Amino acid sequence: MSAELSPIDKAKFVAARRAADYVEDGMRVGLGTGSTAAWLVRCLGEMVREDGLKFRGVPTSTRTAELAREVGIEVISLEEAKWLDLTIDGADEFDGELNLIKGGGGALLQEKIVATASDQMIVIADAAKEVHALGAFPLPVEVVPFGWTATRALVEETLVSMDVMGRETTLRMNGSQPFVTDEGNFILDLHLDRIGNPRQLAMVLNQMPGVVENGLFIDICDVVVVGHGDGRVELRDINAGTVTEDRLDFVESDNLFSDLGD
């Protein structure tokens, strides 16, 4: 129940609940991956069951697809949708220009494809995800398994000339084995501390052979919905140049709070 939620989970919940209001009947909606996006999927599922909301969702990972089906959302592929009205997803970090680091959950490739195939991208986050400069959260870089050590060496060599504070790279693991994405790739996590020029770094990384995609989302996000533990929600619209604040009351709901395992 909501009374049992931690402040951080309350912040994620109110951000997700507020962002769910952007979804209208007939829309094709990209559904993000991660703990905050999972709250969104639960909220939308409740709106489908209780309010009769009718939309089709395009998940950005297999686990999001499973949760969406579980809560009653109609799931289709991006190929079926062709183009999306809206994508709502979380972020590991965002800055004042609404640039993002994503990919902590390992779904950055599908997330970026879905987000850029949408008329609008809305990011939901708790206030702790806002940073002055990106880079405190390790930057995920998805690489093909073939020759990944050579790709890693090339990345490390390139970082020497980039405006970053740290240059450590690690292969993401799943127990004793490398973490494998839904596309069968590996992820290098770049521990950069601070990224001085995210746009330049994103372009340089994606020019490297072996690199599939990086977790920098530049000029993709349109709105950030920032949740706070006391129920306050802040909406920042980069296109309109507006910042508005709202407050949501917590509503007890067994349907939403019965599964907190993500």
Task: Give binding residues for substrate as ranges.
Answer: 33-36, 89-92, 102-105, 129
Query: Rounded CA gap, 223 and 232, in Å?
Result: 16
Query: Rounded CA gap, 73 and 56, in Å?
Result: 7
Binding residue positions: 33-36, 89-92, 102-105, 129
Cβ neighbours around 129 below 10 Å, total? 23
Q: What backbone phi and psi angles, to 5 degrees, belong to 82?
A: 70, -50
The catalytically annotated residue of 46, 111, 142, 213 is 111
Is 234 a residue of the active site? no
Give me 72's structure tokens. 């009653």
- Whole-angstrom CA distances from 50 to 54, 62, 71, 123 are 11, 25, 11, 25
- Cα atoms in the 13 Å half-sphere on the side-chain side of 53: 25
Burial environment of residue 22 by CB neighbours within 10 A (0 to 12, 13 to 18, 19 or more): middle
Cβ neighbours around 88 below 10 Å, total? 29
Residues annotated catalytic, as ranges:
111
